[in-house]
Structure 1
Amino acid sequence: MSYKLEKQEELKESISRIASEEIEFCIASLKNTNLHEAVHEIRKSLKKLRALARLFRDELGEKKYKEINIFFRDLGQELSPIRDLTAHMETIGILQERYGDHIYVKFFNSIVQELEKERDSLEKELKEKKFFSEYILDQFTGAQEEFTEWPVKSTDLAVVLPGLKLTYERGMDALEEAYAQPDAANFHEWRKRAKYLWHQLQLMEQLWPQFFKTWADEVHKLADFLGDDHDLMILHEKLNSPEIQLKDEKQMEMLHALIKEYSEHLRAEAELQGSLVYAEKPKAIKKRMLKYIRTNWN
């Protein structure tokens, strides 16, 4: 099936199916997909699982919610170092596509070589430790037993409304904080909130498919702006780290200038998109969602 709650299923059945499918997808990715593609896809699934848990937070209870959220959060963090190196190279590819006509052809070669060398070394180290083939695989195998049956008793979809309202409200607050104090941490926080909202809207699509798909797509667009900005920020940090040894100071200055220019563009786009996404008050969103549920679900 797919990452959405289904009207023809009991609520508990839908939740269990979605959790099981996402975990099974992670296991299949480890076994059948290129390592770096697998890591990227797995991290996306982990975010989707956490968004699902947030949607049912009140029903799960704080103890069970934290157990689920922390498990999948920590697993994602363990995959971050190797994913970040791939993200750095992808971000450089975007910069090259955007600014390549204005700089010399081999401008990015040395930094890409540094990153590839570091990633190859880390990949070799992790494979020697059987990090992917045993450790991560064991974590997901355990999750199949522990985290596919969640203690959700309600059959009324309205149980999701507190979680959806909280996600929306925190995203609205994060938008305001990001532009009041525009540092990387605040934009990263807003990015996380936007992604949770995107995934939760995907889950709710069957309430009104055409409407919710359009809404989710607009939130996804916002999340992409913020995600690309986040990738620029972690690349900026990487360029300032001891691991990167670029001898050409002018090259380094130009890299930071390109990052700054593109970040400013993305943040301007995100501000407009965010103002549209978060145009309604959280209470109004909750009230509207309840009407959809009463009209076209229960």
Structure 2
Amino acid sequence: MLQTVFKWLPLRRHDEPSSFRIPADVDFETGFRRTVMEPATEAAQLLEKYELDRGRAIHQSRKDLKKLRAALRLIRDHADAEFIPAESVRLRDAGRLLATARDADVKMQTLASLRQRRALTIDEPVLEEWAAALERERDELLHRLDDPHVPVGSGGAMVRSIDAVIEECKFVGEWPVDGLTLRSARLALVRERARGIAAMGRVIEGGDEEAVHDLRKRIKDLWHHLDLLCDVLPEIHPSHVERAHAVSDLLGDHNDLAVLVEDARSRPEIVSPADLADLEQVVHGIEHDLRTRAVAQARALYKSLI
């Protein structure tokens, strides 16, 4: 049953070849600064023209912000102790501002995928109503971001408007990386790898959704770290980057399914208890397969990096 259901789940398509890679033909500090400015600049430019392509601006900017947060972890031992946590919070809040609209779009895509593969026994009228509700919610969230001067983030967030996200991206050029060395980045990579192995262990021991979510974050960071350092550390091969990306995709699909189930639970006026039970059973089977494959691939990847 699990294998049959899994066939219906679409695998994510890999992105275009990365430009998020420090070149080997310049000193490390210069290469790092130039490389992290690329996603920062791209995100700022997309958000400045947000109304021209809302969906792409949200999707790509969120990916860029995740790259920046990963890069920040590599300078933790180099920068001032007070700078790193404060900057991490600002980048996190910037991502959260855009997350709601992006998550709404992902829920639409995930439901569409399950419907296309006929994975659910839920009646079509119910699925149609649910899909329409998701689309309305997505469009409303995107339009709420139209005015970049209107705060739309959480009340306690430091970054609560698109203007603030743009400014945060531009601030990356001021990161304190003077004198940054490859050695300090390598040590940071070792530390982050250890965090990832610990997170994987919690999942293997039967950890809950939060444990899987933490492993997903650690794997995504690892993917970006390996990508950044691929051309300057001889022990990192492009295949390592590809393998980390593949595990990140598996855990991303796992997360998308969990988010869709939570949405269904919040719509009792559309999704009946019987329909919810059907959805949960199907998703549980797919998640089990995704989690099993992700852990096996992550274990092999971490072992190859030791």
TM-score, with length taken from structure 2: 0.82
Q: Quote the offset at 1:235 in angstroms.
A: 1.5
CA RMSD of aligned residues (A): 2.8
Is residue 205 of structure 2 the alignment partner of residue 188 of structure 1? no
Measure, in 2, the Cα distance between the counterparts of 1:27 and 1:244.
Answer: 39
Task: Report the equivalent of 2:109.
Answer: 90
Is residue 145 of structure 2 the alignment partner of residue 135 of structure 1? no
Residues 97-152 of structure 1 show CA distances to partners (whole Å, capped at 9, x for unaligned) of: 444597766663222111112222333333357559x93134323541x3213222
Distance 1:101-1:115 versus aligned 2 partners, 3 A rule: closer
Distance 1:22-1:273 versus aligned 2 partners, 3 A rule: same
Task: Report the equivalent of 2:178.
Answer: 153
SS at match of 1:108: helix
Distance 1:42-1:128 versus aligned 2 partners, 3 A rule: closer
Matches within 5 A, 1:109-120: 109-120=128-139
SS at match of 2:21: coil
Distance 1:231-1:112 versus aligned 2 partners, 3 A rule: same
Task: Report the equivalent of 2:68.
Answer: 49
Measure, in 1, the Cα distance between the counterparts of 2:116 and 2:290.
Answer: 15
Is residue 83 of structure 2 the alignment partner of residue 59 of structure 1? no
Task: Report the equivalent of 1:288.
Answer: none
Matches within 5 A, 1:255-294: 255-279=279-303, 285=306
Q: Quote the offset at 1:77 in angstroms.
A: 1.2
Q: Aligned match of 1:199 in 224, 236, 242?
A: 224
Q: Quote the offset at 1:203 in angstroms.
A: 0.5
Task: Report the equivalent of 1:220.
Answer: 245
8 Å CA contact retained: 1:50, 1:72? yes
Q: Quote the offset at 1:79 in angstroms.
A: 1.4
Is residue 37 of structure 2 the alignment partner of residue 20 of structure 1? yes
Distance 1:252-1:240 versus aligned 2 partners, 3 A rule: same
Q: Aligned match of 1:251 in 271, 275, 286?
A: 275
- Give the unaligned 5+ runs of structure 1: 286-298
Distance 1:107-1:266 versus aligned 2 partners, 3 A rule: farther
Q: Quote the offset at 1:211 in angstroms.
A: 5.4
SS at match of 1:59: coil
- Give the unaligned 5+ runs of structure 2: 1-17, 152-159
SS at match of 1:267: helix
Measure, in 1, the Cα distance between the counterparts of 2:123 and 2:169.
Answer: 49
8 Å CA contact retained: 1:56, 1:163? yes
Task: Report the equivalent of 1:177.
Answer: 202
Measure, in 1, the Cα distance between the counterparts of 2:134 and 2:55.
Answer: 14
Distance 1:244-1:207 versus aligned 2 partners, 3 A rule: farther
Q: Sequence identity, in percent?
A: 27
Q: Quote the offset at 1:153 in angstroms.
A: 3.5
Number of residues paired by the alignment? 280
8 Å CA contact retained: 2:264, 2:271? no
Measure, in 1, the Cα distance between the counterparts of 2:259 and 2:241.
Answer: 26
Task: Report the equivalent of 1:296.
Answer: none
Measure, in 1, the Cα distance between the counterparts of 2:209 and 2:103.
Answer: 16
Distance 1:43-1:247 versus aligned 2 partners, 3 A rule: closer
8 Å CA contact retained: 1:225, 1:266? yes
SS at match of 1:7: coil
Measure, in 2, the Cα distance between the counterparts of 1:142 and 1:267.
Answer: 34
Would you identify which runs of 4 or more consecutive aligned residues in structure 1 move more than 4 Å? 100-107, 128-132, 208-211
Measure, in 1, the Cα distance between the counterparts of 2:129 and 2:186.
Answer: 50
The AA in structure 2 aligned to 1:254 is: D
Task: Report the equivalent of 1:75.
Answer: 94
Residues 52-76 of structure 1 show CA distances to partners (whole Å, capped at 9, x for unaligned) of: 1111211113222223211111111
